[in-house]
Chains A and B, each alone.
Chain A
């Protein structure tokens, strides 16, 4: 079974600073997908960024980028130039290729302070 671990229950960062959220996972699969989702206080889950395991290049979406270390099974999210609207719960998720089951980590509550 695949497990996803987010070791930081809560984090805070000053506006305009950079913050990194950590995520590790455990799997014996070689082909899979990793995701970071954001859940703001409004509750809707929003896809932030996605990484295919077969791609060595780290995914980037504007201010959001990942550091994907396949051998170490690590998938951290870096948020640059943090904005107040980035305040939310962030969930790391894993999904095996060809599967339907998305496994979520416990989440990291990020607060961006003005």
Chain B
């Protein structure tokens, strides 16, 4: 149980393109989803937290107009990297939490490798 699917797994596109990444909880309802960014050989950095039906909460230093997050349903959150540039190339990982409360574990997706040429 508690499977999180992330799509696509890999994206290669030209500079200036907008890219949408989907994160789905397949067998549970996720009231809260998280988006992380991971640079090579580094740890995960939380970008934003999204709660279903409300605006996402962004971490300091993360541009909300650059990284648009939508959490329209209890099973789907999307991250759109707008007008992507080479410096946006990274590994993006989503996670979802079942139920309310921080004592619930986060379940991670497989990640999306974004490469901007």
Contact = CB atoms under 8 A, between A and B. Distances in A.
A20 B13 CA distance: 42
Interface string B29-44: 0001010000001111
B93 A104 contact: no
Contact of B43 (A35, A97, A104): A104
Contacts, number: 53
A40 B83 CA distance: 31
Contacts of B107: 47
Interface in B36-67: 41-46, 49, 57, 59
Interface in A79-106: 91, 95-106
Contact of B34 (A37, A96, A100, A103): A100
Interface residues on B, range: 20 to 34
Contact of A99 (B59, B102, B106, B110): B102
B23 to A, nearest CB: 13
B86 interface: no
Q: Which of A44, A46, A96 has most B Cβ within 10 Å? A: A44
A45 B49 contact: no
Nearest to B101: A98
B101 to A, nearest CB: 8
B32 A105 contact: no
A91 B110 contact: no
B44 A91 contact: yes
A45 B111 CA distance: 9
A95 B102 contact: yes
Contacts of B110: 42-44
A43 B103 CA distance: 24
A50 B105 contact: yes
Contacts of A37: 108
A44 B96 CA distance: 13
Contact of B93 (A45, A47, A52): A45
In the A-B complex, the 8 residue pairs with the closest CB atoms: A45-B108, A104-B43, A100-B49, A44-B110, A43-B111, A104-B44, A106-B43, A47-B105
Interface of B: 32, 34, 41-46, 49, 57, 59, 91, 93, 95, 101-103, 105-111
